[in-house]
A and B are shown apart, each in its own frame.
Chain A
Amino acid sequence: MSQPVTSNPLIIMLINMTVVFLVLIALGIVINLIHKIDPTAKKEKAPAEPAAPAPTAVPSVTQSAPAGLSPEIVAVIAAAVASYGYGMDQIRAIRPIARDGWKQSGRNIVAERLL
């Protein structure tokens, strides 16, 4: 092992914390840069605009819900989304997505054990 730069614990703490902050700030700048240059961001926003003015929200949600979902479930989901501050006119469809919840849960447990 080579000789450490300093043996003063407080100086070591100060230098190391500064480096940790600087590296993570640099990473934050990189994340912002990626966001700025993202060529796909505008394309995703564009089709959303024409759909915004929906005359009545609740009927459109009911119409967009698949046959398997009862009106009660649609109402509960809509109320939950509304509790986060979103208006009814912002809900365009309610449909189940393909997701293996058990698999994901298992992965979460494994990740929990590793860190």
Chain B
Amino acid sequence: MELFNAFAVSLQAVWHDSGFSAFTGGHAIMIAVGLVLLYLAIVKEFEPLLLGPIAFGCILANFPRTGFLEEPGLMQAIHYGIANEIFPPLIFLGIGAMTDFGPLIARPATLLMGAAAQIGVFVALVGAMFLGFTVQEAGAIGIIGGADGPTAIYLSIQMAPHLLGAIAVAAYSYMSLVPLIQPPVMKLLTTQKEREVVMEQMRPVTKFERVCFPIISAILISLLLPPIASLLGMLMLGNLFRESGVMDRLSDTAQNSLCNIVTIFLATGTGMTMSAESFLVPQTLLIIVLGLIAFIFGTAGGVIFGKIMCRTSGWKINPLIGSAGVSAVPMAARVSQVVGMKAKPGNYLLMHAMGPNVAGVIGTAVAAGTMLAMLK
């Protein structure tokens, strides 16, 4: 009898300590959300390198009584890297080492398209404020339109950490949908004649220019906007590794091993912010809608500025490259190429679109910096 009682008490204790006893409908829904995201990542291949760990992090975050964020351990360390803005600048180091700023240096005017495409960020900000979000929350939501995941995470952590999960998921989901979202907007805003504009070959860029650009840009932007100094500084450091020609080992590490390791931590940690308590709120739906609006207006802003530049340059610039100003490197540039090729087979816009594309990365970081300086 005593053995039976001890056995029953032990089983009861195990049940009370288990996750099942505290499992709610909200947890079940969020695990289902995680499974859907995993399906999209693995079967549909929507940004699998990021959506995969985000989805799994979402599932992990919804196991009750794990104490992941309360007790010291790996999960808390990952969360520390997210909450203290460590991972996004490290990702930017890798991106800098992978980015060729040559097309931008060869044609600096394309910086303006990268700036114009940021209008989507601020249209979403205005929309979010009209829907009742605070100014900080609206800024964090608006940055989805920048189509730049690390910057979106960087800004969200500082301005609206409770919305991080929804913002990150919206940003990465829409980035994977760039080939579906952008073409209708691009075609709607341009004429056949504009889409057929053939651009001249770009001038060659010297090594001197390639080496000076990251150094001087880092100094200029960091002095102007200190809140994004770590983000832009690491981007330009990574690019200096690449362009200097004497730091190949560092460049290789930054763009491969380090970048992959940090991606695992950043994406899993982002997924782990998607707990039922913070994600299952009406605001999440609004964030997803506002993110789409931001992408559409960002694309439109870039294309409309491209049309202006097309006219002022005497039809030497194809307005389709303006849409690449929303970042999403290099997918947005590829979309410009595909739409341009459909309008005029043999018209290669890819290299020309890379200018506004990388300008968009800098533009989004600058937009984040101005919002941090003004709204935080």
Q: Chain A residues in contact with chain B, CB under 8 A?
A: 1-2, 4-5, 7, 9-10, 12-13, 15-17, 19-21, 23-28, 30-32, 34-35, 38-41, 44, 83-85, 107-108, 110-115
B115's contact among A20, A32, A85, by CB below 8 Å, is which?
A20
Please judge, given known A-B contacts A5-B374, A12-B375, A114-B50, whether A24 and B260 are in contact too, CB under 8 Å.
Answer: no
A115's contact among B125, B207, B361, by CB below 8 Å, is which?
B361
A contact residues around B370 at 8 Å (CB): 15-16, 19-20
In the complex, the answer to whether B136 meets A13 with C-beta atoms within 8 Å is: no
Q: How many A-B residue pairs have CB under 8 A?
A: 157
In the complex, the answer to whether B112 meets A21 with C-beta atoms within 8 Å is: yes
Q: How far is the CA of A25 from the CA of B111 in the complex (A)?
A: 7
In the complex, the answer to whether A115 meets B374 with C-beta atoms within 8 Å is: no
Residue of B nearest to A33 (CB): B216
A-B contacts, 30 listed (Cβ < 8 Å): A1-B136, A5-B375, A7-B135, A9-B130, A10-B126, A16-B118, A16-B122, A19-B366, A24-B362, A26-B224, A27-B217, A31-B213, A32-B108, A34-B213, A35-B209, A38-B208, A40-B208, A41-B206, A83-B346, A84-B201, A107-B98, A108-B98, A110-B49, A110-B255, A110-B259, A111-B329, A113-B47, A114-B50, A115-B95, A115-B329
A contact residues around B99 at 8 Å (CB): 111
CB of B276 within 8 Å of the partner chain? no
Give the dominant DSSP class at A's interface: helix
Most buried by A among B118, B221, B256, B370: B370
Please judge, given known A-B contacts A27-B220, A84-B201, whether A34 and B126 are in contact too, CB under 8 Å.
Answer: no
Could you mark each residue 117-139 of chain B with 1 if its beta carbon is under 8 Å from any beta carbon of chain A, else 0?
01101110110011000011010
Residue of B nearest to A39 (CB): B208
CB of B317 within 8 Å of the partner chain? no
Please judge, given known A-B contacts A1-B376, A13-B126, A24-B363, whether A114 and B209 are in contact too, CB under 8 Å.
Answer: no
B contact residues around A21 at 8 Å (CB): 112, 115
Q: How far is the CA of A5 from the CA of B194 in the complex (A)?
A: 41
Please judge, given known A-B contacts A24-B111, A114-B150, A114-B259, whether A16 and B95 are in contact too, CB under 8 Å.
Answer: no
Nearest CB on B from A11, distance (A):
10
Give the contacts of B166-215 with A (CB-CB under 8 A).
175, 201, 204, 206-209, 212-213
A114's contact among B94, B104, B204, B375, by CB below 8 Å, is which?
B94
A12's contact among B95, B216, B221, B374, by CB below 8 Å, is which?
B374
Q: How far is the CA of A7 from the CA of B217 in the complex (A)?
A: 31
Given A26-B220, A30-B216, A107-B256, 15 new contacts (CB under 8 A):
A2-B376, A4-B135, A9-B138, A12-B125, A16-B370, A19-B370, A21-B112, A24-B363, A28-B112, A31-B209, A40-B208, A83-B346, A85-B201, A112-B330, A115-B328
